[in-house]
Structure 1
Amino acid sequence: MWEPLNEKFKKYPARMRVAQKMIELGLSLKDDGKIYCGNLKISDNALANAADVDRRVIKATTEVIENDPDLSNIFKNIIPAGTLLKNIAKNLNLGVIEIEVTSENEGILAAVTELISEKKVNIRQAYADDIETKEFPLLTIITENPVPSDIIKEFLSIKGVNRVSIY
């Protein structure tokens, strides 16, 4: 997905920041030329502040997207992923597992969910950072109940796992 963006915006880093912020937040470009999060219209000023660019860069970015069929197809079909429960898990008596992964992360999600399943704990959410956008990508698992801390050693034995935090 990043290759067409890099190609289109390589000479325009501010526009690239806008496109990355749109993807990060699940913002789409609708047929009216406006940016939305679901059905909520996002102001150019709000997105400009979030992407740390001038407001005029938003319009320039949306024009490029609208005039490129490949980019338009991507950005018109983005949907927000919903609420990540990580920051409110404690209030809801849920468990949180954060696993920092390396670029060699093939099969980590499967191995992690298998270990959690063996402990008879249900998974409520799983969220993985994009390895192309984060220096230290995290796999975040929200569980129905906290997992026992002795599972950390088992997580660390999985190839591609750098660090594990459980709370």
Structure 2
Amino acid sequence: MWSDIIHEFADSPSQSRVVRFLLENGFGVTEDGRISCNGIEMPATAVAKTIGSDRRVVDSTARRILERPMLRDLFLNMRATPDLSRVAVTLGYAVITVLPKNASERGIVGAAVRVLADHNLSIRQIFVTDPQFSEEPKLVIIVEDELPAGVIEKIRALPQVKQVII
């Protein structure tokens, strides 16, 4: 589906940048063509400035999204969720970042979660960046407890894992 969305905007690199930005950040579009985040409207000028574009490109992208039923439904219902990784230490949580060998391979999340479950760790959040939107896709797992000895080594030893960062 993501490739269909990107393909839809292949004729316009500037609109493609806007769509990619919206998807990466969980931003939606309102019925009247404004960019929104969880129902809060965001000025097109702010979005344009952030991605190095023009407000008119953002506005025209939003209108184009609303003209296509599949995109319309998707972006009208898009929701953002908080990424706790930057505040995890303050909350007393541990952050494990897993860089996969091949992000398109199945089972990466399941294998890492199994290791954590085997150690009775409570997972607070899992965040996966989509390989179609990210230059360096990753799996970020935030756990409530301190990491017992051996957990990182077991995750690092998984066949799908290229690197683990804590």
Residue by residue over 1:57-109, the C-alpha shift from the partner in whole angstroms, topping out at 9 and shown as x without a partner, is 0111112111111211221121112x111111111111110000123531111
The Cα of 1:132 is off from its aligned counterpart by 1.0
2:116 is equivalent to residue 116 of structure 1: yes
* Same amino acid, percent of matched pairs: 28
Residue of structure 2 equivalent to 1:98: 97
Q: Supply the RMSD in Å over aligned alpha carbons.
A: 1.4
How many residue pairs were aligned?
165
Aligned equivalents of 1:106, 1:3: Cα separation in 2: 18
Residue by residue over 1:104-146, the C-alpha shift from the partner in whole angstroms, topping out at 9 and shown as x without a partner, is 5311111111111111211100000001112221100000112
One-letter amino acid of the structure 2 residue matched with residue 55 of structure 1: R
One-letter amino acid of the structure 2 residue matched with residue 7 of structure 1: H
Aligned equivalents of 1:42, 1:30: Cα separation in 2: 10
Unaligned runs of 5+ in 1: none
Q: Give the TM-score normalised by structure 1.
A: 0.92
Gap change, CA 1:139 and 1:65, over 3 Å in 2: same
Residue of structure 2 equivalent to 1:62: 62
Contact 1:29 1:76 in 2 (8 A): yes
One-letter amino acid of the structure 2 residue matched with residue 120 of structure 1: N
The Cα of 1:152 is off from its aligned counterpart by 2.1
Q: Give the TM-score normalised by structure 2.
A: 0.92
SS at match of 1:116: helix
Residue of structure 1 equivalent to 2:38: 38
Unaligned runs of 5+ in 2: none
